């Protein structure tokens, strides 16, 4: 079996990885820095009228309050998070239609920006790249926008993160060290549960459904008797914060493989002429190990 981008050590009470939630945003920040996005760039989104004029928002997405402005900042950060996961050397439509190396494309405007207005326009380019790379849409809908995705609907995954697959998130530093808010944390179980209740209580969700120890109690975090498993992770994938081991290694027939400079599940993507040497080597190792198990 190959488990690509599986955050098997991202849960609570993993002794070998006590705070994976702190590593997650650090990985995204590292990807941004390596691709030219300045740490201070995303703190310059302000001026309601300027934003509404320049960002081509639909009426439902106009910035009319301070809270709307905070949501806009969160939206830009969330896009960088998602782009880090699909940072491949060729265009894809896995989550949204995107160009090759989307993080590098998104960071280009920040390299030229010097004024607050230029940083704002650079942030617009991020939103537009994610929401409208094909140029199909005339306006940006921040709060009500779900274009087709090859990955399918994410509602099922979101529900799982509030029931049996609890994945706490938090920034290790916050401003000015990285663009993610240090206070935006759900490591505390009560805060995490309250957020889930806010989202899903209207469709029958209750606190009894919240089980942060489900994975630990049912499967455990180490598997000394398991065999024939390959764990693979791109080191630019934020989920690699919860990977089984930190380096390429093995314990018996359990293997941990690291793919350099790319996002999630890259080894599962179809073969492409622009594939990196690292993923070609990892796929070769996967074939070799699987062949040895079935012969």
Order of strands across the sheet that contains 2-4 = 2-4, 229-234, 254-259, 249-251
Integer Cα distance of 129 and 81 in angstroms: 14
Mean pLDDT over each residue of the chain, to the nearest integer: 82
Helices 66-85 and 116-132, axial angle in degrees (round to 10)? 60
**Quick one: average pLDDT of 71-91?**
86
| Per-residue pLDDT band at 185 (split at 50, 70, 90) | low
Question: Cβ-count burial of 144 within 10 angstroms (0-12 exposed, 13-18 middle, 19+ buried)?
Answer: exposed
Q: Which tens digits make up the pLDDT trace of 214-261?
A: 988 999 889 889 999 999 999 999 899 899 999 999 999 999 999 999
**Quick one: average pLDDT of 274-284?**
96
| Per-residue pLDDT band at 45 (split at 50, 70, 90) | low
Question: Cβ-count burial of 39 within 10 angstroms (0-12 exposed, 13-18 middle, 19+ buried)?
Answer: middle
- What are 98's strand-pairing partners? 92
Closest CA to 123 of 110, 104, 114, 132: 110
Mean pLDDT is highest, among 25-34, 152-161, 202-211, for 202-211
Q: Is 211 helix (H, G, I), strand (E, B) or coil?
A: coil
Kindly report the number of other CB atoms within 10 A of residue 274's CB atom.
Answer: 10
Q: Residue 177 has what pLDDT?
A: 42
| Per-residue pLDDT band at 175 (split at 50, 70, 90) | very low
Kindly report the number of other CB atoms within 10 A of residue 202's CB atom.
Answer: 8
The model's pTM: 0.80
| Per-residue pLDDT band at 176 (split at 50, 70, 90) | very low
Range from 7-21, 171-185, 202-216 carrying the lowest mean pLDDT: 171-185
Ordered DSSP codes for 99-124: -SSHHHHHHHHHHH--SHHHHHHHHH
Q: Residue 195 has what pLDDT?
A: 85
Q: Residue 181 has what pLDDT?
A: 52
Q: Residue 279 has what pLDDT?
A: 96
**Quick one: average pLDDT of 87-95?**
91
**Quick one: average pLDDT of 78-82?**
86
Q: Residue 18 has what pLDDT?
A: 66
Contacts of 54 (CB under 8 A, 6+ apart): 120, 121, 124
**Quick one: average pLDDT of 182-194?**
68
Q: Residue 40 has what pLDDT?
A: 55
Range from 42-46, 92-96, 263-267, 288-292 carrying the lowest mean pLDDT: 42-46
Q: Residue 55 has what pLDDT?
A: 73
CATH 1.20.120.980 maps onto the chain at: 17-132
Q: Residue 141 has what pLDDT?
A: 73
pLDDT tops 80 at residue 42: no
The CATH number assigned to the domain with range 17-132 reads 1.20.120.980
Q: Residue 283 has what pLDDT?
A: 97
């Amino acid at each position: 079996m190959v488990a690509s981008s599986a955050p098997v050590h991202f849960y609570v009470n993993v002794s070998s990885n006590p705070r994976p939630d702190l590593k997650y945003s650090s990985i995204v920040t590292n990807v941004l820095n390596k691709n030219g996005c300045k740490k201070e760039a995303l703190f310059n989104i302000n001026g309601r009228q300027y934003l509404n004029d320049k960002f081509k928002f639909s009426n439902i997405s106009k910035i009319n309050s301070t809270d709307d402005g905070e949501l806009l900042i969160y939206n830009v950060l969330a896009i960088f998070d998602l782009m880090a996961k699909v940072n491949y050397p060729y265009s894809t439509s896995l989550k949204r239609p995107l160009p090759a190396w989307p993080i590098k494309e998104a960071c280009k405007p920040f390299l030229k920006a010097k004024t607050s207005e230029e940083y704002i326009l650079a942030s617009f380019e991020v939103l537009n790249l994610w929401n409208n790379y094909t140029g199909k849409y005339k306006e940006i809908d921040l709060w009500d926008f779900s274009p087709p995705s090859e990955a399918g609907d994410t509602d099922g995954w979101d529900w799982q993160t509030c029931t049996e697959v609890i994945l706490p998130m938090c920034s290790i530093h916050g401003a000015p060290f990285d663009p993610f808010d240090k206070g935006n944390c759900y490591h505390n179980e009560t805060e995490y549960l309250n957020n889930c209740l806010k989202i899903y209580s209207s469709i029958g969700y209750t606190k009894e459904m919240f089980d942060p120890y489900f994975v630990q109690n049912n499967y455990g975090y180490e598997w000394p008797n398991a065999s024939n498993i390959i764990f693979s992770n791109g080191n630019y994938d934020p989920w690699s914060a919860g990977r089984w081991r930190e380096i390429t290694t093995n314990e018996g027939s359990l293997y941990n493989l690291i793919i350099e400079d790319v996002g999630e599940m890259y080894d599962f993507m179809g073969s492409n002429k622009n594939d990196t040497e690292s993923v070609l080597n990892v796929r070769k190792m996967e074939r070799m190990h699987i062949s040895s198990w079935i012969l």
